[in-house]
Amino acid sequence: MIHFVLLVSRQGKVRLTKWYSPYSQKERTKVIRELTGLILTRGPKLCNFVEWRGYRVVYKRYASLYFCMCIDQDDNELEVLEIIHHYVETLDRYFGSVCELDLIFNFHKAYYILDELLLAGELQEPSKKIVARLIAGQDSLVEAAKEEANSISNIIAQATK
Amino acid sequence: MGSQGGFGQSKEFLELVKSIGESRSKSEEDRIILREIETLKRRIVEPDIPKRKMKEYIIRLVYVEMLGHDASFGYIQAVKMTHDDSLLLKRTGYLAVTLFLNEDHDLIILIVNTIQKDLKSDNYLVVCAALGAVCRLINEETIPAVLPQVVELLGHQKEAVRKKAVMALHRFYQKSPSTVSHLISNFRKKLCDSDPGVMGATLCPLFDLVTVDVKSYKDLVVSFVSILKQVVERRLPKSYDYHQMPAPFIQIKLLKILGLLGNGDKHASEQMYTVLGDLMRKCDASTNIGNAILYECICCISSIYPNPKLLEAAAEVISKFLKSDNHNLKYMGIDALGRLIKLSPDAAEQHQLAVIDCLEDPDDTLKRKTFELLQKMTKSSNVEVIVDRMIDYMISINDFHYKTEIASRCVELAEQFAPSNHWFILTMNKVFEHAGDLVNIKVAHNLMRLIAEGFGEDDDTADSQLRSSAVESYLRIVTEPKLPSAFLQVICWVLGEYGTADGKYSASYITGKLCDIAEAYSSDETVKAYAITALMKIYAIEIAAGRRLDILPECQTLIEELAASHSTDLQQRAYELQAVVGLDARAIESAMPSDASCEDIEIDVTLPFLDSFVQQSLHNGAQPYIPEDERSRAIDISNFSNQGHRESSTHGLKFEAYEMPKLPVPSRPPPPVSHVSTELVSIPEPSYSRETQFSPTNPPVSSSDAELKLRLDGVQKKWGKPTYPSTSSSSSGYSSSPANGASQMESAATSTSTSRPGETYKDLKKAEVEISPEKQKLAASLFGGSTRSEKRIGTTTHRASKGGGHSTEKSSVLKPSAASTTKANIPPQPLPDLLDLGEPARLSMVAPLTDPFMQLEGLLDQKESGSSGTCAVTDGSNKEPDIVSLYSDLHMDEQSSQSTLNPLAPSESNSSNLRRTISGGLAQATKGPNLKEALEKDALVRQVGVNPTTQNPNLFKDLLG
């Protein structure tokens, strides 16, 4: 099972965190500090895995952003590496050539996508298409809601004129 | 598309994100966030905040929390937002609460009601959002509140809902198996769901169930095997393909389950052999995901009843992994080897040099994995080499967690395989010296017991030899500074018991040493306690032996000092010592018999010697003693026990709605009440009401007191407000057919061959040439056994080369055929998964077209257009090395084709929105056909004010680029 997902920039700035196992805010800060210290210092040609407090942390660097996932000892590390890649591909599909800025300013959308991909620490949907469809469905509703809100406010504005 | 329409937040928030992005230190970032928290605290309590504004505040709270600050002041607002009718806001609310709250938070109870309502919504997106929250927030206590609804949702017509319902049930099972134990059959049913996504999700709970109880799932072996077979034969929809592998994540899950089911079961395993063989053969070893599956296959093969053919295939894959240049594969290879040697212990032999390379690798992760492997290979013949290596490594690292682990491993191995007592003592000394405070104190106690009891055999001379060698080594070590406490305790104890036993050292010498210890570590009370007790033992032995007692002055001062100590324990020990010293030899002989540490002390818990005293007190009228459990029971009975019992049995929260109130006039049912507030004031709402059976007016409040109850069951009924019209028509592309079993899965995929040219391993023979003599020696001692090392070197290297030659031969046989099939089956159009251009095979498929936009980009961005190398390239403005080439190690041999990597004609690009970029120098230039988007984004970013070239150049690089 995946215990948490962590996105940090090369400078150690947190871009996204998602915790599937209970951690207090204090522990979270500590975890992030420890892991960034561990992962950001690793050289480029080494394994994408590190051992950490009896868990494995699988990480992968995309441009200047590190995607990390913490898993149990007996999980398949290569698989998790691909889950990370799967997530990035899904993000890419959604944002259209995703870059770090997209995630910085739209981190809530990154969360929505992650939520469609992983649930309760397990991969719930291996198909990019379906994830994309679900997110699009939600977005279209959002758009509809926005339009509705606009039209209502227009009506009110006209009425009060 | 998400961001193209602008980032959609207010200027203020963009400013915040921007300033965080530009902050140069953690403290600066903290300052900004603290200021933001102050703002939010003020704003969020303002009255009448528009909802969209509130939504943004909540997202800002999420941001604050994400950066590690406390946003608990706003949690309640997030909870409120989940109550909102608009999905947009509701979704934000759910997102925030799932991020903010842990399952034991007090606010959860406020959300349960909303979740209940949303689970019944007719909009599947609302249901999905609620199920997501269920997975994260529902705890053991609140499971009953949502369980019936979740079970109902297993039959929902939308596959996305079914899938999430399965996951939610799985989560419930993890939290409290007893609450869902009666629902487990549902998981079996869902395995036959018509949607592969639901089936895949069902594998997670089934894996857990099988882990706990293998026997009752043996009947599913056939189903799992057939599902796996169908997956491998590409009969799932194409959309489940990932990097041209058919549904790899499902395959891996299935393999895990099969590994459990086949463990030690010949019959079950035999059913799997064929499909496993197929899988191993077909699997594409050039992609990462292919290797993940191969690795999982090996795990499965080594777990089920062994089959020689499969084992052979597994060994072959392992040797490929180990010979790879990719560290990840080496790591997996080492791990897989560790699994395989349980079945074929000599499997490691042909890889000995690879293993040693890994052991000496600068990569810590790899090194540690290799130690794990070595631990599994340890025999009494190689334990010395392995443990020595481990200790050397242990000394070199600072990570406490791992230091502890490796120390306990050393201890375990040393206890299990120690070739001689002397070696054992020396090893333990080293472990204690360097990691004494980290190892479990039990290890220290074990060591003491071992020295006291000897190695089990009734050989007194060996035991006393062990003891004197221990004493000798301890006397030597004790002079070193800063020893860990646990180690000192062992030293004191051993010196006290056996310091003078062999007559080599005089009592005054030993006592002097003990005093030194107590003085040097005067802050450690446990050590002092051990030291003074050791002193007492030595004096007792001296007196019992009839020798004249000669207490050194420094010992005297130590005793006096401790007798006045603040610690009562130390004080008592000191006084006891003084008392013992005053006794005569005979009394000491019976009070402190020498070398009696191993004798059991019998304790009679009934305390028979007190019987007469008890009798006498009873006789004098004292109350008889009642044991504690009886006492509490007595109190219970004296109380109104019935009530107490019932309460304890129905402990916990009650989530069912209250019963419908009984009315005096049964023909007029009361209208359901939507809000507590409307309860007391009876508002007639005849015209809005959609529930036709209602009477137009409410019954008078006074008619029944039952109505005053808070009723939750009315909440989900809709009063006047319109809810969402069913939106399913727009987005539901397909209606699910009834679950007819996995065999009905559509066979949409064509049977394209998976095989691709395997990697060539040119360095196979290289190993023979470049082996340094030290490595050979090490290998021999690890793999061959120390006694026969000279003889072994020749044979082992020979064997290694033979093994190597063997596998080259095999792979070369395999290669041409694989290559030919690929050629024949190249799909007419490149698949959309072009992100992963690092893979050689796929690269070659991409025709070297030129991208018209690339040239445009080149004009825009002069300084980056030139370079087109691979991983080593860094662009001028960027100081850091460009690690865009993620698979750099894989695509070394593809350099030539990488110069034009942006190809695909625009017509194709429309069908797949993926950007196809790769190599380092082109990172910026290859925003690909989405040039317009990229420009827009850039423009927007500039508008926002983050300056790309100076402040934070990395922001502008595509993640995948």
Q: Which of A24, A45, A51 sits opposite B889 (nearest CB)?
A: A45
* Residues B148-194: tens digit of each pLDDT: 999 999 988 888 899 999 999 999 998 888 888 888 888 888 888 88
Q: Which residue of A has its CA nearest to B104?
A: A22
Is pLDDT of B698 > 60? Answer: no
- Average pLDDT, stretch B192-216? 89
Q: Is B949 exposed, middle or buried (0-12, 13-18, 19+ CB in 10 A)?
A: exposed
Q: Does ipTM top 0.85?
A: yes
> What Rg, from alpha-carbon coordinates, does chain B have?
37
Q: What percent of chain B has pLDDT over 90?
A: 6
Q: Is some CB atom of chain B closer than 8 A to the CB atom of A55?
A: no
**With contact defined as beta carbons under 8 Å apart, do B234 and B262 qualify?**
no
Chain B, 530 to 589: residues with Cβ < 8 Å from chain A are none
What proportion of chain B, given as a percentage, has pLDDT over 70?
Answer: 64
Cβ separation of A25 and B68 shorter than 8 Å?
A: yes
Residue B849 has pLDDT above 70, yes or no: no
pLDDT tens digits for range B419-435: 777 788 888 888 888 87
pLDDT reading at B855 higher than 70: no
Tell me if the pTM is above 0.80. no
Give the integer Cα–Cα distance in Å for B252 and B294. 9
Whether B237 and A127 lie within 8 Å, measured CB to CB: yes
SS3 A61: strand
Residue B9 confidence (pLDDT):
67
pLDDT over threshold 80, residue A150: no
| pLDDT value for A68 | 94
Confidence band for B55, pLDDT divided at 50, 70 and 90: confident
pLDDT tens sequence across B753-802? 434 444 434 444 444 445 677 777 777 777 664 334 334 433 333 444 44
Q: Within an 8 Å CB–CB cutoff, is residue A30 touching chain B?
A: no
Classified as helix, coil or strand, B814 is helix
Following DSSP, what letter does each residue of B903-956 receive, concatenated? ---HHHHHH-------SGGGTTT--GGGHHHHHHHHHHHHHHT--TTTT-GGGG
Query: pLDDT tens-digit profile of A98-143?
Result: 888 888 888 888 998 998 888 888 888 778 788 888 888 777 776 6
More confident residue, B208 or B873: B208
User: Is a pLDDT exceeding 60 seen at residue B680?
Assistant: no
Query: Which residue intervals of B324-399 are DSSP H helices?
Result: 327-340, 352-359, 364-377, 383-396
Closest residue on chain B to A125 (Cα) = B197
Tokens of B893: 């041999």
Q: Return contacts of B605-609, CB within 8 angstroms, 24+ apart.
A: none
Specify which residues B304 forms β-bridges with.
B263
DSSP label at residue B784? I
CB atoms within 10 A of CB B214: 16
Average pLDDT, chain A: 85
pLDDT per residue over B369-379, tens digit each?
Answer: 888 888 888 88
The answer to whether residue B941 neighbours chain A at the CB level (below 8 Å) is: yes
Quick check: B923 and A52 CB within 8 A?
no
Note whether B99 contacts A53, CB cutoff 8 Å: no
Asked if B480 contacts B468 with a C-beta cutoff of 8 angstroms, the reply is: no
User: Is the pLDDT at B629 greater than 50, yes or no?
Assistant: yes
Pairing of strands A55-62, A14-19: unpaired
| pLDDT at A161 (0 to 100) | 60
Q: Where are the beta strands (DSSP E) in B593-698?
A: none
Tokens representing residue B159 in the block = 């596959």
Q: Flag if B2 and A51 touch (Cβ within 8 Å).
A: no
DSSP 8-state assignment for residue B739: -
Range of lowest pLDDT (A32-36, B657-661, B845-849): B845-849
Kindly tell me if the per-residue pLDDT of B333 is higher than 80.
Answer: yes
Q: Which whole number is the average pLDDT over B542-567?
A: 82
Largest CA distance in chain B: 111
Q: Which of residues 85-104 of A touch B (CB under 8 A)?
A: 85-86, 88-89, 91-104
Residues of B in contact with A10 (CB under 8 A): 880, 954
A143 touches chain B (CB under 8 A): no
Residue B765, helix vs strand vs coil: coil
Query: How close does chain A come to B679, measured CA to CA in Å?
Result: 31
Contact A95 B730 (CB under 8 A): no
Res A59: pLDDT: 93
Interface test with B, best of A11, A47, A77, A135 (most B CBs within 10 A): A47
Give per-residue pLDDT as tens, B7-35: 556 778 888 888 887 888 888 888 899 99
Quick check: B88 contacting A, CB < 8 Å?
yes
Q: Could you tell me which residue, B759 or B402, shows the higher pLDDT?
A: B402
Residue-wise pLDDT for B89-122, tens only, equals 888 899 999 888 888 888 888 889 889 999 998 8
What does each C-alpha distance from B163 to A79, A105, B171, B258 come to in angstroms?
21, 30, 13, 22
What average pLDDT does chain B have? 71
Helices A128-160 and B124-137 meet at what angle, rounded to 10? 110
The answer to whether the Cβ–Cβ distance between B92 and A119 falls below 8 Å is: no
**pLDDT at residue B539, as a whole number:** 85
Helix (H) or strand (E) holding B212: helix B196-212
Alpha-carbon dihedral sign for residues A144, A149, A152, A157:
negative
User: Which of B290-304, B359-373, B929-943 has the highest mean predicted lDDT (pLDDT)?
Assistant: B290-304
What type of residue is B587?
A: A
Q: What angle in degrees, to the nearest 10, is found between the helix axes of B51-66 and B75-82?
A: 130
